A and B are shown apart, each in its own frame.
Chain A
Amino acid sequence: MGERTVELEVLRYNPETDSEPHFQRYSVTCRDEWVVLDALNQIKETIDPTLSYRWSCHMAVCGSCGMMINKEPKLACKAFVRNYEGVIRVEPLAHFPVERDLVTVIDDFMDKLKRVRPYIIPKQVKAVADGEYRQTPAELKKFKQYSMCINCMLCYAACPEYGLIPKYIGPAAIALAHRYNQDSRDGGREQRQQEIAATEGVWDCSFVGACSEVCPEHVDPAGAIQQVKIKSTVDWYTQHLMPWLKK
């Protein structure tokens, strides 16, 4: 009553001893309300202390515990065991190299976030003495949704184009750039275009839309990407067909 036995099949990889990953089966007694992260913690605490994985907040705000659960990118703290039937397959987030067990190498992602200059680049330098930036609720609404990203990388795991084209800058990076481009305090769009309007920017996206479907914060990176594509296209034709127009 209130408990269930859950079978977990977890991908294991020890770089010091293994030549390739392999699955390991665990039988875990879970409480009905548990999430997969609770089951993993139970394994680590009582069955196999060698199991490695990232986690922190256990409430879907830190973005640490992203993994493939039955082939779908999910936050382990948000995947309820009662929603799964049979064996639950847990693997590291797709499209990233495996460091160890469920821990992935995220350097590529971190580099890409930095490349889009994710900070306010003011239109004009403003001294502190000149006072604060003022922003209406409407101006805030324009970018707020794109600021909700928790860098969990589920979108990169869901995106087949990122899997096929490792150089693709990816959904979260573009959504982040868009967040600043849409901010009324910012004037750095041209600089960010160098990264996101390049070939390996938005143009590698084919609007599969999987990124927005798996995003736990409803950031809608797919929407951001298409908006950047349209704006970049309008810019390109304007510049090339009417070069006399001032930007």
Chain B
Amino acid sequence: MAEEVTRKPYERVMTMRWILRHPRYLRYMVREFSCLFIGGWTLLMVWGLTQLAEGPAAWAAFLECLKSPASIAFHVLALGFAAYHSVTWFNLTPKALPLQLGEHFVPDGVIAGAHFGAWAALSLAILSLAGAF
């Protein structure tokens, strides 16, 4: 006859230190934080729109505000985070939208590569049409 064993399972508490458990969790958090910059920049543009609607003087003042050191710093960070969002998004796209042709799946690199190509082409078109160069 087997002995009765007392069970007393121990529940380990999950702390916020999970973010440091492996570099991938830190990278995930950086990716998630990109929302602050993309959202922040968009709100900045909404404010710009209100100034555009107020007239040429207001718009000129807005453009002047953009030239402040804080604005430049924000733009550089926003560009970096936005690009990181794009890179991570396109790299994950093949996982969410696999393409099966017959017995084979289109390689992830091809799907992601097509997105990166379209991103580059679209960006160049935007910069060119806007007269950036």
Q: Is A102 close to B, CB under 8 A?
A: no
Counting contact residues on chain B (CB < 8 A from A), the size range is: 20 to 34
By a CB distance below 8 angstroms, the chain A residues around B92 are 207, 209, 226
Q: Is B132 close to A, CB under 8 A?
A: no
> Complex formed: what's the CA distance from A95 to B28 in Å?
19
> Complex formed: what's the CA distance from A142 to B104 in Å?
9
Which of these binds chain A: B6-14, B78-86, B121-129? B6-14
Shortest CB distance A73–B (Å): 10
Is the CB–CB distance between A94 and B12 below 8 Å?
yes
By a CB distance below 8 angstroms, the chain B residues around A97 are 9-12
Is the CB–CB distance between A16 and B10 below 8 Å?
no
Is the CB–CB distance between A223 and B98 below 8 Å?
yes
Residues 200-247 of A at the B interface (beta carbon under 8 Å) = 206-210, 212-213, 220, 222-223, 226-227, 229-230
Is the CB–CB distance between A21 and B14 below 8 Å?
no
Q: Is A99 close to B, CB under 8 A?
A: yes
Is the CB–CB distance between B9 and A99 below 8 Å?
yes
Shortest CB distance B33–A (Å): 13
User: CB within 8 A of A98: which of B12, B19, B22, B100?
Assistant: B12
> Complex formed: what's the CA distance from A141 to B98 in Å?
12
Is the CB–CB distance between A71 and B21 below 8 Å?
yes
Closest residue on chain B to residue A16 by CB atoms: B6
Is the CB–CB distance between A227 and B25 below 8 Å?
no
> Complex formed: what's the CA distance from A154 to B100 in Å?
28
Is the CB–CB distance between B25 and A210 below 8 Å?
yes
Q: Is B102 close to A, CB under 8 A?
A: yes
Mark A1-38 against chain B: 1 for CB-CB distance below 8 A, else 0.
00000000000010110001100000000000000000
Q: Is A128 close to B, CB under 8 A?
A: no
Is the CB–CB distance between B100 and A141 below 8 Å?
yes
By a CB distance below 8 angstroms, the chain B residues around A222 are 95
Closest residue on chain A to residue B25 by CB atoms: A160
Q: Is A138 close to B, CB under 8 A?
A: yes
Q: Is B96 close to A, CB under 8 A?
A: yes
> Complex formed: what's the CA distance from A5 to B5 in Å?
35
> Complex formed: what's the CA distance from A46 to B96 in Å?
49
User: CB within 8 A of B7: which of A15, A160, A213?
Assistant: A15
Q: Is A186 close to B, CB under 8 A?
A: no
Is the CB–CB distance between B103 and A15 below 8 Å?
no
Shortest CB distance B97–A (Å): 7
Is the CB–CB distance between A95 and B96 below 8 Å?
no
- A-B CB proximity, top 9 nearest: A226-B96, A223-B95, A97-B9, A15-B8, A98-B10, A163-B14, A138-B103, A105-B9, A208-B28
Residues of B near any A CB (own CB < 8 A): 5-12, 14, 18-19, 21-22, 24-25, 28, 32, 92, 95-98, 100, 102-105
| Given A71-B21, A98-B11; 10 other pairs, CB 8 A cutoff | A13-B10, A15-B7, A15-B8, A16-B8, A72-B22, A97-B9, A99-B9, A208-B25, A213-B24, A223-B96
